Amino acid sequence: MDTRDLWVEKGYEHFGLYGPDKLSIKLIAQEHGIARTSFNYYFSNKEEFCDELIEKHYDLIHQFCDGGKLHCKKYLPDLHVLIFTFPNGLKFQKQLFNHRHNDKYNEVFVKCNEMVEKKFALRLFMDYYKLPLAVKEAALLHASLTDTWYSRLDINDLTLEKLTNAAEEIMQTILALMEKSGSLNSFSKVSIPTFHDLT
C-alpha cells in the first residue's frame, strides 16, 4: 500500500471512530507511522481529504450491495450478518448520520441508504414483513426504520444480536403504529411514522 492509500485507509477508520470534526491528521500520522508532511503532498486540505474518504465509502457501499445481492436471502438476519462484516463502513455511516446537520454528510448518508435499498434491501424488507404497500411507501417506511436504527446504534457496542434485535424492535413499533392508524390496510391513506415519532 502506497502512502496516499495508507492515508485514505487509516483516515477512513478514524472518520468512523471520531467523525469529521475530530478527525486529526496529526493523530493518524502518529498512530500509523506516516510522515505528517506527506499529507500536504497528497491533499490540499482536510476538506479534500474528507471528500476522498467519502469516495472510499461509496466504493465500499457498492461492495456491500454486491454482497447483499449474492448472499442475502431474507431481510433478517441476513442483512445484519452482512452489515457485521463491514464494521468500518458501519461506523462511517453512523458518523454521517451524526453529522446530518451538514448538507454534504446528510446527502451521502441518504444516497448510500437509497443505493442499498434499490440494489437489494427494499425487496427483502417488503417480503419479510409482507407489507401491502407500494414501493414508494415501503421505501419511506424503510427510511424511518433505518434512521431510527442508526440513532440507537452504539459503535462501541456492536454485536450481531444487538443490530438485529434493534431493527426488529423498531419495526414492530412502526407496524403497531401503522396498524393503530389503519394505514397498513389502506394504500390511499398510508401514514408512515417518522423518525421523530419513534425516538
Tens digit of each residue's pLDDT (9 = 90 or more) over 53-93: 999 999 999 999 999 999 999 999 999 999 999 999 999 99
Q: Is 161 exposed, middle or buried (0-12, 13-18, 19+ CB in 10 A)?
A: exposed
Q: Tens of pLDDT along 113-128?
A: 999 999 999 999 999 9
Q: What is the spatial distance between Cα 152 and Cα 161, in angstroms, rounded to a whole number? A: 14
Residue 83 contacts residue 159 (beta carbons within 8 Å): no
What cell numbers appear for 186 in the block? 389502506
92 in Cβ contact with 40 (< 8 Å): no
* pTM assigned to the model: 0.92
Overall average pLDDT of the 149-178 stretch: 93
Residue showing cell 487509516: 10
Residues in the chain: 199
